């Protein structure tokens, strides 16, 4: 059989199964540090998108659709870094942990533990990045052109109906997990970057809700002077976005693929070439 630069879907799901089982066996401190780095990387992509799109003032005024596309185009840098460096991300774990759970290799409390530790690490990383890299560097000072952009973005996020944020969270993590699946399938760096970039760009440009990215956007906006309370953030955005992310990743990507490829033959070629975030 000729060599290929991608893993077929059945081989890919088998690999995800094995890698997700390995992640369950990780010691919590190690997973926490991986997730901490993942939270930082996602935040840096978010910060770059705010500076680039928020600084394009004329484009924002004359062509807001193109400005949204610009915002989405640079955001995936953070997720690409997560995948290529072996960091960890709660939202992609929502899908990947469903494969071994469906195959009865791990138990639900073990899945919940991975999700919990991953979420905690992402939370710490995102809050650290908001304070250290956005606030303390002066990037979000009042005189910066993109600071009002971020504040408007964050205030909009916390003032939407619960069901709207929930459904935006569902679609956001469907696309994030599709990005992860496509990234894992490629065997070369460029292929993985392209596979990740397109779906992530799409959900960001559409204005969907990613809980981990929001752990940066909203706290950074609060530090920049946004009139948002912690309670408003938790109840108006973070809770529905997180629940939507779980549904989109676990129920609409992870479980369907686990069922579709529940009985496959063959082994994954060179599985060590891919690290799950």
Q: What is the pLDDT along the chain (277 residues), one digit of tens a residue?
A: 345 677 889 989 998 999 999 999 999 999 999 999 999 999 999 999 999 999 999 999 999 999 999 999 999 999 999 999 999 999 999 999 999 999 999 999 999 999 999 999 999 999 999 999 999 999 999 999 999 999 999 999 999 999 999 999 999 999 999 999 999 888 899 999 999 999 999 999 999 999 999 999 999 999 999 999 999 999 999 999 999 999 999 999 999 999 999 865 444 444 444 456 6
Domain holding 47, by residue range, is 9-139+146-260
Q: Does residue 161 form part of some domain?
A: yes
Cα separation of 253 and 106, whole Å?
18
Cα separation of 93 and 276, whole Å?
9
Q: Does residue 166 form part of some domain?
A: yes
pLDDT of 276 reads 60
Cα separation of 273 and 3, whole Å?
15
For residue 95 the two structure tokens come to 């899908």
pLDDT of 221 reads 98
Cα separation of 195 and 63, whole Å?
27
What domain count does the chain have?
A: 1
Cα separation of 24 and 26, whole Å?
6
Closest-CA residue to 277 (of 78, 107, 123, 44)? 78
Strand, helix or coil for residue 6 = strand
We report the CATH number of the domain holding residue 46 as 1.20.1080.10
Beta bridge partners of 186: 6
Contact in structure between 140 and 134 (CB atoms under 8 Å): yes
Q: Does residue 44 form part of some domain?
A: yes
Q: Does residue 223 form part of some domain?
A: yes
Contact in structure between 49 and 204 (CB atoms under 8 Å): yes
Beta bridge partners of 6: 186
Sole residue written with tokens 């069922």: 259
């Amino acid at each position: 059989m000729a060599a290929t630069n991608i893993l077929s879907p059945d081989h890919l799901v088998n690999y995800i199964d094995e890698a997700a089982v390995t992640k369950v066996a990780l010691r919590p401190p190690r997973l926490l540090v991986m997730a901490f780095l993942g939270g930082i990387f996602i935040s840096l992509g978010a910060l770059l998108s705010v500076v680039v799109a928020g600084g394009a003032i004329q484009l924002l005024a004359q062509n807001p659709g193109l400005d949204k596309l610009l915002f989405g185009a640079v955001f995936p840098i953070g997720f690409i870094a997560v995948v290529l460096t072996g960091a960890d991300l709660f939202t992609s774990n929502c899908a990947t942990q469903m494969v071994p759970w469906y195959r009865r290799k791990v138990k639900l409390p073990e899945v919940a533990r991975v999700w919990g530790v991953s979420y905690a690490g992402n939370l710490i990383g995102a809050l650290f990045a908001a304070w250290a890299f956005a606030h303390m560097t002066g990037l979000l000072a009042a005189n910066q052109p993109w600071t009002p952009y971020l504040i408007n973005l964050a205030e909009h996020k916390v003032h939407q109906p619960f069901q709207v944020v929930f459904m935006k969270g569902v679609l956001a993590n469907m696309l994030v997990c599709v990005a992860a699946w496509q990234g894992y399938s490629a065997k070369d760096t460029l292929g993985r970057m392209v596979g990740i970039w397109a779906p992530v760009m799409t959900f960001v440009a559409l204005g969907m809700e990613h809980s981990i990215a929001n752990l940066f956007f909203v706290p950074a906006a609060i530090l920049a002077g946004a009139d948002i309370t912690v309670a408003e953030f938790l109840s108006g955005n973070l809770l529905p976005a997180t629940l939507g992310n779980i549904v989109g990743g676990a129920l609409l990507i992870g479980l369907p693929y686990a069922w579709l490829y529940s009985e496959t033959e063959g082994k994954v070629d060179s599985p060590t070439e891919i690290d799950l975030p």
